[in-house]
């Protein structure tokens, strides 16, 4: 059985920021649309001064990881203490440049309630946090994240597994980075498909979208036999193309947030990729079970093939 991973947004009330004032930014490239970092203070001559922020995060599980931008300058280590234990230094990855990636991973912990304290944080952002659940970790009200390489996702066709970093255009000022768990699955082939079965009340599909190429991408999303065709178009007048956004991470391709609790089957069918690939990074869903040890029966809704497309899908401008 795959590990159960819980994703926690940076604005969740289980995260307490301190040490200095923290600032949030709202951009589509962030998961949930926002990220948080320590606000630079002003030095005596009015120049920016590197702030030292801190944060506390309480969770129930067996491990925790933090994702966001690493520092550009200044301190290259964070100071970590778990459950009031001895502090130790943790080095940020990729010390030669700023990057978007997983910048901290805790050691394995006994399942239970934990609090992690991070201090000495300078010029680092928090986009989201991932908790590794144990058999008795409460799942009610949580959001589960499923990596594109998880065996619960079944791929049909000629998908490519991509381990390359994504590179937004340098003019945007956004750093390059790595997708969740350092890989994606991508398709430029008509007829490629994937299936995913889950027990929950919502589903979201996230990936990397390439705004640097003019073209369009048509995809059909099926949930329990209900089909939604969507087309994502990029043209010369698309704002993200004109401003040279490049590749955007955490792009929301599709979501349903009001499903009936129970077993569901998702099918994604790539129908008309024209210059723009479908790149999936991860799925999220809200479970309708109390804990992993209280799992319901395996999903087994009726399966069916996507219907033929008899008319052009509605065009949706990607955001």
Cα 101 from Cα 77, distance rounded (Å): 15
pLDDT tens by residue, the chain, 319 residues: 578 999 999 999 999 999 878 988 888 889 999 999 887 654 445 455 555 789 999 999 999 999 999 987 656 789 999 999 999 999 988 766 788 999 999 999 999 999 999 998 888 999 999 999 999 999 999 999 999 999 999 999 999 999 877 876 555 667 888 999 999 999 999 999 999 999 999 999 999 999 989 999 999 999 999 999 999 999 999 988 888 888 889 999 999 999 999 999 999 999 999 999 999 999 999 998 765 554 443 444 444 454 444 344 455 555 5
pTM of the predicted model as reported, rounded to 2 decimal places: 0.88
């Amino acid at each position: 059985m795959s590990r159960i991973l819980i994703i926690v947004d940076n604005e969740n009330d289980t995260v307490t920021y301190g040490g200095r004032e923290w600032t949030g930014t709202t951009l589509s490239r962030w998961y949930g649309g926002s990220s948080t970092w320590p606000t630079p203070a002003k030095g005596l001559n009015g120049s920016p001064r590197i702030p030292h922020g801190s944060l506390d995060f309480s969770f129930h599980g067996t491990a925790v990881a933090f994702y966001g931008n690493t520092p550009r300058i200044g301190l290259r280590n964070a100071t970590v203490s778990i459950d009031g234990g001895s502090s130790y230094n943790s080095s940020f990855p990729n010390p030669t440049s700023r990057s978007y990636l997983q910048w901290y991973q805790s050691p394995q912990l006994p399942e239970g309630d934990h609090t992690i304290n991070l201090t000495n944080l300078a010029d680092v952002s928090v986009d989201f946090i991932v908790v590794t659940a144990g058999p008795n970790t409460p799942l009610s009200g949580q959001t589960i994240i499923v990596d594109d390489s998880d065996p619960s996702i079944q791929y049909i066709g000629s998908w490519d597994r991509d381990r390359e970093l994504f590179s937004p255009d340098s003019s945007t000022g956004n750093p390059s980075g790595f997708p969740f768990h350092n890989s994606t699955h991508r398709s430029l082939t008509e007829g490629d498909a994937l299936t995913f079965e889950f027990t929950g009340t919502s589903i979201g599909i996230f990936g990397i979208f390439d705004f640097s190429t003019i073209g369009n991408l048509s995809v059909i999303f099926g949930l329990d036999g209900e089909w939604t065709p969507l087309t994502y178009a990029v043209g010369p007048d698309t704002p993200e193309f004109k401003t040279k956004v490049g590749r955007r991470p955490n792009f929301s391709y599709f979501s349903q947030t009001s499903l009936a609790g129970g077993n569901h089957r998702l099918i994604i069918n790539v129908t008309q990729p024209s210059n723009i690939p479908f790149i999936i990074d991860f799925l999220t869903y809200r479970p309708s079970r109390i804990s992993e040890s209280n799992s319901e029966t395996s999903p087994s809704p009726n399966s069916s093939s996507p219907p033929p497309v008899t008319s052009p899908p509605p065009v949706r401008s990607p955001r």
